[in-house]
Structures are given as structure tokens and as C-alpha cells.
Amino acid sequence: MAGKTTVISQALLSEQFAYCDRIAAYWQERGTVPTAYVETYGCQQNEADSEKIRGLLAQSGYRITDEAEGADVVVMNTCAIREHAEQRVFGNLGALVHTKRRHPGQKIFLCGCMAGEQIVSERIRKSYHHVDGVFSTHHLWQFPEILYRTLSTGKRVFYVEDEAGSIAEGLPQVRDNILKAWVSIMYGCNNFCTYCIVPYVRGRERSRKSGDILAECRTLIENGCKEITLLGQNVNSYGKDLDDGMDFADLLAAIAQIPGEFLIRFMTSHPRDASQKLFDTMAAHDKIAKQLHLPFQSGSSRVLKAMNRHYDREKYLAAVNYAKSVMPELVLTSDVIVGFPGETEEEFMETLSLIEQVRYDALFTFIFSPRHGTPAASMEDPTPKEEKNRRFDLLCATQNRISEEIHRGYVGKTFRCLVDGKDGEMLTARTEGGRLVRFAGEDSLIGTYRNITITGSNTWSLTGNLK
Ligand code: SAH
Ligand code: SF4
Ligand code: F3S
């Protein structure tokens, strides 16, 4: 259904790398090492994009810092998913007036999903004069050119034209964490769920070539990576725009063949195309984590139809039941929206009954937020805010009880966990299902897989002892 995936040519990328060289020369002439700060909002897709923005900055001679104060470049990589997320960005962006006043040479950029909304770029143009540049996700690969233009002309630059989107391979990356890496396997979304802004700001679905993905995974693992999370808005439709005959399950199986000790996770999986083949593939490979984030959004088939999700309650439950039947140890998490326009009390109760039936380890719960330009934003929405809040609180309380019960069931069991960091005096680790465990141990354990026996639990996490 989608058009052919467009890949940015090597020649165009070389032009951008030449801009990196020019920026580096600009700073060398001034005898300083410039600094840059990148702030990331939103989902893992944005985290992965920020690693590329940092990569391009590092290639242009910037040292990456962890605060905006005094930085020569500040990049706000933003999220548009809910109004609250946008308000936070506008608040923090406003506050940058002061950092810029103290450091007038500072260049401030806004990018990411908000930059793909015309009303946002217009608002920045009119009311946020201290912002030097705005670029949507489609233009990320042109950041060196954008930065160079602001440095050399002192003018504001807007790269916000709407596009179907393309793929840029070979951009440098400064990864936050080599132990646990994000790998984008596709970009954009074709689903147009009626509440969601993502397809408008990230363009059409496009898949990276499997060879490029495999090469990236191989390099990561050779460099000590122990956990790879494959990213896409709807990973199950991976490959539909390519003609190499590889679907998402095939891709997972191919990555699982790479030698080394590591786990593969992925998100997000859309229930519409979650196939038995996918679950069978997960079950067949030890290196694929038995963890599934499968957003259901609503327990009511009527609401799901109004959301344009292309599955109903029965189809969703059938997929979950099949997955559990082939992977009895499967850890399930999900996203849910409360207060979609017109959701009745009975329909909300169907959401509650679905979470009781499935029993997720954890749930990401959201109150519907109307997004400009999406169909749901103009649907009739008679339910008062207080009523939505009440439903939301009831949903959270129910889920918290379920999470607590499931976590209590872990006590006494032993899990192989990746030790991934520290939290105060304790080490932190993740079970194969992605649950957080705190335990006492030597720092030298970080980066290794260990067996940990669970000794305590609460709603959110577990505690344990090394076995
Ligand atoms: N591609 C993923 C979701 C990405 S957005 C999927 O389809 O599952 C992450 C979550 O944000 C969504 O699953 C949804 O629960 C929530 N969300 C998206 N738009 C929203 C809106 N307008 N209001 C409230 N929650 C929303
Ligand atoms: Fe948004 Fe739906 Fe696409 Fe997920 S699948 S990003 S919820 S439009
Ligand atoms: Fe937000 Fe964009 Fe992700 S809107 S949730 S950062 S895809």
C-alpha cells in the first residue's frame, strides 16, 4: 500500500558532513571547543533521534553537556502526543530566553514531533524570537546545514515542509547507553488512529533495509551491547514497503542468529497485525525477550472502531491468549486511553474488565487529549473532565492492585537479569520480561547477566539477592 521507501543519497549526506567540517572550522578559528545540550521529550523514537542529533553535533566539533546554561547550542527534541507534553515544552522553551540573555551567542533549536505541526512552527516564528531554528523529523539529517546557516547568517531557519518522509542511513550517533541500545527499524505510521498526531508529524511508514539493520545490530553486539530494542510505531508492518520478502518475524529471527549473549526487545507492536507467526518466532528463540507491549487503547469494540484501530475486543483477546499459550512466561504491558469522545460508563467498564482478564504487569494510562487536525478532536465529547478523571483514577487503582499481585507472585523465583546500572547504593537489573529489580552487589557486575532470586516486591519494582 505504501509507496517505495526513499533513501537519502550518499551524495546528499556527504554535503551535510561537509557542513559539519565547516562548523568545526568556524569554531577552530575562534579557538574554542563549543558545547551543545540536547533535551529529549516523548518516546524512544525521539531518544534514538537525539542520539543522531548528538552524533552530528559531535562530528561538528561540539562537546555534549548536560545543561542548557552556557551551552553554545540547545536542541529541544519535542513530543506532540498530548497537550500536556506540548505545554511543558513551551514552558521550558520560554525559560531559555534567560540562558540566551546570559550567553547571547547561544543557538536554540526546536525539532521533533511538535516541529511537524504548522501551528507550532507559526507560534515559534511569531512569539519565540529567541529560537534560531525549527526542523521537523523529516529534516533531521539536514541539521548540519541548518546549524551552519544560523551561525553564518545570524538569521532564523525553518525546515518544516510537510513530507511523506525518507530514510537517512549512516548518520553518526552518540549513544546514551552502549549496554542497552535503541535501533529504529522503521519510521512513520500509516494507521491514522483517529486520536493520534504521529502520522501527521512523522509521515508515512517506511522500513530500513534488513541488511542495514542487521549490520547495525552486529556492530552493537561486537561492541558490548547486551540488549537491543527495535523501534517503530507499528513494528508488525515492517517490510511491507520493501520487496525483499522479509517481514518483522523474519527480521527478529535473523537478528536472533547473531552470535553473542544478548536479548532483543521491540516496540510498539500493533494488535491489528500481531500474527501467530510473530508469537511463534518469539517462542522459538531464546534471544527474543518474552515481553510484549501490545497497546489495546480500549476494551470496547465500539470505541476501538471509532478510534480506527482495526481490531475488536475479541480479536485482541484472541491474540493475547495465543501469545500466552506459546509463551507461558510472557510479560505483557499495554497503553490505554480513558475518556475517548463519547466513551460511556459501560464502555469504560469494558476497559476495566479487559485489564482484569489480561492482567498486565504494567499499564501506561492516558486521558484523551484532543490533537489539532485529528478526527477525534472534532468528535462530540459530552463527558465532563471530572468524570474522566474519576474513570482514570479507578483504572489506575485497579491496575496498581494487579501489578502488585503479579509482582508478589515473583517472590521466591529466580530470574536471569541484565545488571544495567545503579540506584543509590543498590544495583539495578531487568528481568527478561523487563521488570526492574534492585539488589546489592559489586559495580563490576554491571553489564553482565546474573541469576537473581526475588525477595520483595511492590507495585512498580522488585528487590532480590544474587543467586
Ligand atoms: N504506535 C503506538 C503508540 C504510540 S503513542 C501504538 O499504536 O500502539 C503512545 C500512546 O500514547 C498510545 O498508545 C496512546 O495510548 C497514547 N496516545 C496517543 N495519542 C493520544 C491522545 N491524543 N490522547 C491521549 N493519549 C494518546
Ligand atoms: Fe498513533 Fe495509531 Fe500510529 Fe500508534 S498506530 S502511532 S497510535 S496512529
Ligand atoms: Fe511523542 Fe513523537 Fe513519540 S509525538 S510519543 S515523540 S513519535
What residues form DSSP beta bridges with 419? Answer: 429
Q: Of the bound ligands, which one is closest to the alpha carbon of residue 84?
A: 1
CA distance 125 to 120: 9
Helix residue ranges, H only, 128-197: 143-153
Pocket test for ligand 2, best of 44, 46, 113, 191 (most atoms within 8 A of CB): 191
Fold of 414-466: OB fold (Dihydrolipoamide Acetyltransferase, E2P) (2.40.50)
Burial category of 134 from C-beta neighbours within 10 Å (exposed 0-12, middle 13-18, buried 19 and up): buried
Residue 451: per-residue pLDDT: 97
Residue 163: per-residue pLDDT: 83
Give the Å distance between the CA of 43 and the centre of ligand 1: 10
Whether 294 lines ligand 1, by a CB cut-off of 6 Å, is no
Whether 202 lines ligand 2, by a CB cut-off of 6 Å, is no
Q: Of the bound ligands, which one is closest to the alpha carbon of residue 83?
A: 1
Domains of the chain by residue range: 6-166, 175-408, 414-466
Whether 335 lines ligand 1, by a CB cut-off of 6 Å, is yes
How many percent of the chain have pLDDT more than 70? Answer: 99
Provide CB contacts within 8 A for 354, sequence distance 6+. 296, 299, 313, 316, 317
Query: Does residue 383 surpass a pLDDT of 60?
Result: yes
Helix residue ranges, H only, 114-258: 118-127, 143-153, 198-202, 210-222, 248-256
Give the Å distance between the CA of 308 and the centre of ligand 2: 10
Residue 165: per-residue pLDDT: 87
User: Regarding the domain with residue range 175-408, which homologous superfamily does it belong to in the CATH classification?
Assistant: tm_1862 like domain (3.80.30.20)
In the predicted model, what is the mean pLDDT of residues 394-421? 97
Whether 270 lines ligand 2, by a CB cut-off of 6 Å, is yes
Q: Of the bound ligands, which one is closest to the alpha carbon of residue 297?
A: 1
CATH of 6-166, one of 3.90.740.10, 3.40.50.12160, 2.60.40.1120, 3.20.20.60: 3.40.50.12160
User: Are the folds of 6-166 and 414-466 the same?
Assistant: no
Summarised one tens digit per residue, pLDDT across range 177-214 is 889 999 999 999 999 999 999 999 999 999 999 999 99
pLDDT band, very low/low/confident/very high, at 3 (cuts 50, 70, 90): low
Give the Å distance between the CA of 48 and the centre of ligand 3: 11
Averaged pLDDT of the chain: 96
Q: Of the bound ligands, which one is closest to the alpha carbon of residue 295?
A: 1
Burial category of 80 from C-beta neighbours within 10 Å (exposed 0-12, middle 13-18, buried 19 and up): buried
How many percent of the chain have pLDDT more than 90? Answer: 96
Check if the beta carbon of residue 107 is closer than 8 Å to that of residue 133: yes
DSSP 310: S
Pocket of ligand 3 (CB under 6 A): 42-43, 45-46, 79-81, 112-113, 198, 202
Query: Does residue 235 surpass a pLDDT of 60?
Result: yes
Ligand 1 atom with the smallest distance to the CA of 193 is: 7
What is the SS3 assignment for 25? Answer: helix
Q: What is the reported pTM?
A: 0.96
Query: Does residue 142 surpass a pLDDT of 60?
Result: yes
